[in-house]
Structure 1
């Protein structure tokens, strides 16, 4: 199955094949711009972290600047580099010298501008990953959700006057003149060729200082903070262990999972004058973090949000009803295993981190293993620089300066059970310090560091190809992953989990084989607008890149999965083959259909993953709800024969989100209707849906 496919071709995939959409956040990593010489000189030199944003386009962290290069293929993700610029040179504006010793010619620096609202006629040429260039007008347009390699006339519409890039928020639209699949896309940035020495617009909003939380009581407290410039301050409170929010989330009043936070608000700010906001609605005996960002009148936000952690004391609080969940049927990857018993007061029990061991080292990747003495949540990061952050900063995903760490991860830990962490995006021949923090349910935390060095080179090594079938983490009942490898060594993956509202949701990815890192990797996609359970077939209408996913197999039946949702803390989890009927994973009974992806070739956009183990089947239907959102249904029961299955479809909810903290799901509907599967051979059959619609199905070969 091709890794890129126009939406018109979506009927060629059981669950639509991946395309390319732009990342809503232009700058993935934070770094402080350090001027080494003044911009007034003929050649200006500075150092900053740069990230490959699109083909031949690199983003300079914390500046909003894009560097357009010529024939540059260096892969950089927050790479600390030296940049030489000569704005008067004409054909060559400068050079990037990367940390690995490679160099690339810079043909232009582009930055956001103050622009009036209105339309701009342009002639666009597609670069990649949602970026388009107009060479005549010397501008780059950044699209939101565009996949098309469009070239030709278009109109850029800026909705409001102000800075033409606003931290990834949509600022307008792109209207394509010639009809294509996507006739219009959201506009998130306009960048114009710039002499960086004379940028007229400050690239960052007011800086923040003196943030404190005082007068804390069981349900709230007071936050006091000062901004360097006038504007509006936005604040948001969430439990301390939640994923670190992005600046747009803070401004929108959303937590790190893009859901309603514990508390939020906004306040007018004057330059240099402290303001105090009252926080209320919190729970007693809880660890919280309050995040604050200031926005100037022209739309720039603070370079880095301010964060203050605090704990509410015990005290009286209004009772909160706890719904009694419906029991989850057993056995099932939706089953929540019996948790390891915790001490009566976990907050009084120190977390003890065991030895961290190196399992595998390659030039660009490492696999490490560690464990703790009790159930906890693990947070790790590769320490940038020489200073190890405090344990609270590691938990928050921040380095010692309070900026987001470039390489980090998160995952739940079971008592005395080793967990592997696959760390990618490393540089060859470098020494690294890994900081690992563990936090138990009572808030007790521990920190441990270890060092390792990557080899200078390692020969490409194909990753282990995992067995086709259902996978899960036994400690994270409530979500599952269906994997199938093809003859080319690529994997088609689907993951079922839940959105921020608690509704079931699924994501798909075609994972390409990466021999250099001995893993599989791809974009994580979210499709909308397809057929619901009782409706007639129609193709999905929209696709969004939700993030990235990589799988590092450690055997044919186990592996380390890394999920990186856009704007979320990367999450690393260990997965293994799921035993459908308790105990071990069993071979299917003789005469059973093949395990893997099934579909109707004329009804692309939905798919079915079917596996039989002995005389039990576990089946998932990846479809859509009545609002067009992706929805999944599962059915598990004993087969009537090797060629006949009948069972009820169940719907689950309120479980773990992408990048979210573990939550046990509940049964929303135990019987959304019965399905019947009849197999005519190992690769063909017939599905009867609850509505009575009969669908011819066959094995999908990608």
Structure 2
């Protein structure tokens, strides 16, 4: 773990300056980089805590090197202090259990994560973009470890059911990364991403707050992951803060490409809402540098959610088809 403070003269939300945490062996051979996620985009007015996972180098003698890459204008200064190494034994991280809901890095807006913690597992949804700019999503279960972290795989599904199409199970799966989640508080943390093909980065995240209103939901239905158990392979992540609704819908294009839509707005009543679905494109990939997304189309239609209990509902899709939904339970532990 370490503390960092980034001060920048850059005025644009473009990644220009970056600091790296690199791992070398005793012969001076570079083994990898762990700190690709720290840049002028993470500039702040105070010190923040960071962490990297060295478990991939267990049993080796390695050297950590902190270095910076900057351009010739708008200088960025990276301050590093209190670097420490902790062995992985139960509880010594002092890590927290995360709050359920939408998470993001405010310096890298346009992509985000949904955390649904049940028992000793987290269902993690990652909503972002391919390198080509197409919207995509990944999901996976991360399990609590003895050191207080959560570890698991992020999986890309493809070839499943479209928004308004008949049921079709996903045809392909691909593990894109291994992830370790560390939460220093219930609302702040780090996702350590190790890409399947090599490389990776640390993503600083915090719980998303929709404006300055109340965080507690005024809805009579539960926040979390919802699905139609007769049409597995696609689903919906739902969070209400006060009267503000955020609905993420993850499914597939007719081509089989995974896609997600976002709906935001207000409750119509304590048990219902009707909101337009929007699709974005062109934003940041899982392991790529920051770039802001853009709305791809006008709203593609509206959905209406009508709860029938705290954990069941009917969703009316664009075109009028209605499907039953229920709150997904994937872990019955406490």
- Partner residue of 1:466? 98
- Partner residue of 1:421? 50
**Partners of 1:506 and 1:585 in 2: CA distance:** 29
Secondary structure of 1:502's partner?
coil
Contact 1:482 1:609 in 2 (8 A): yes
Within the alignment, does 1:371 sit opposite 2:1 as a pair? Answer: no
158, 163, 180: which one aligns with 1:528: 158
Max radius of gyration: which structure?
1
Within the alignment, does 1:498 sit opposite 2:124 as a pair? Answer: no
Cα distance 1:449–1:468, how it changes in 2: closer, same or farther (>3 A)? closer
Shift, 1:459, TM fit: 3.7
Contact 2:250 2:261 in 1 (8 A): yes
**Partners of 2:153 and 2:89 in 1: CA distance:** 25
Count of residues in correspondence between the two structures: 318
Cα distance 1:592–1:434, how it changes in 2: closer, same or farther (>3 A)? farther
- Unaligned runs of 5+ residues in structure 1 are 1-366, 388-399
Secondary structure of 2:51's partner?
strand
**Partners of 1:648 and 1:610 in 2: CA distance:** 14
**Partners of 1:600 and 1:554 in 2: CA distance:** 34
- Partner residue of 2:314? 686
- Partner residue of 2:32? 406
Deviations for 1:123-167, whole angstroms, at most 9, x for unmatched residues?
xxxxxxxxxxxxxxxxxxxxxxxxxxxxxxxxxxxxxxxxxxxxx
**Partners of 2:78 and 2:225 in 1: CA distance:** 43
Contact 2:3 2:80 in 1 (8 A): no
Tell me: higher relative CO, structure 1 or 2? Use CA pairs within 8 A at least 6 residues apart: 2
Cα distance 1:419–1:637, how it changes in 2: closer, same or farther (>3 A)? same
The farther-off stretch of 558-567 and 415-424 is: 415-424
Cα distance 1:666–1:468, how it changes in 2: closer, same or farther (>3 A)? same
**Partners of 2:17 and 2:214 in 1: CA distance:** 28
TM-score normalised according to structure 1 size: 0.43
Cα distance 1:496–1:584, how it changes in 2: closer, same or farther (>3 A)? same
**Partners of 1:621 and 1:523 in 2: CA distance:** 21
Deviations for 1:215-273, whole angstroms, at most 9, x for unmatched residues?
xxxxxxxxxxxxxxxxxxxxxxxxxxxxxxxxxxxxxxxxxxxxxxxxxxxxxxxxxxx
- Partner residue of 1:519? 149
154, 157, 181: which one aligns with 1:551: 181
214, 220, 245: which one aligns with 1:617: 245
- Unaligned runs of 5+ residues in structure 2 are 11-15
Deviations for 1:633-679, whole angstroms, at most 9, x for unmatched residues?
00001110111100100000000012000000100123111100000
Cα distance 1:570–1:585, how it changes in 2: closer, same or farther (>3 A)? farther
**What aligned pairs does 1:417-496 form with structure 2 within 5 A after superposition?**
417=45, 418-426=47-55, 427=58, 432-439=63-70, 442=73, 452=83, 454=85, 458-460=89-91, 463-487=95-119, 489-496=120-127
Secondary structure of 1:406's partner?
strand
**Partners of 1:668 and 1:547 in 2: CA distance:** 27
TM-score normalised according to structure 2 size: 0.86
291, 297, 301: which one aligns with 1:673: 301
**Partners of 2:141 and 2:187 in 1: CA distance:** 19
Secondary structure of 2:248's partner?
strand
Shift, 1:437, TM fit: 1.8
Secondary structure of 1:475's partner?
helix
Cα distance 1:452–1:500, how it changes in 2: closer, same or farther (>3 A)? closer
RMSD (CA atoms): 2.7
Contact 1:429 1:454 in 2 (8 A): no
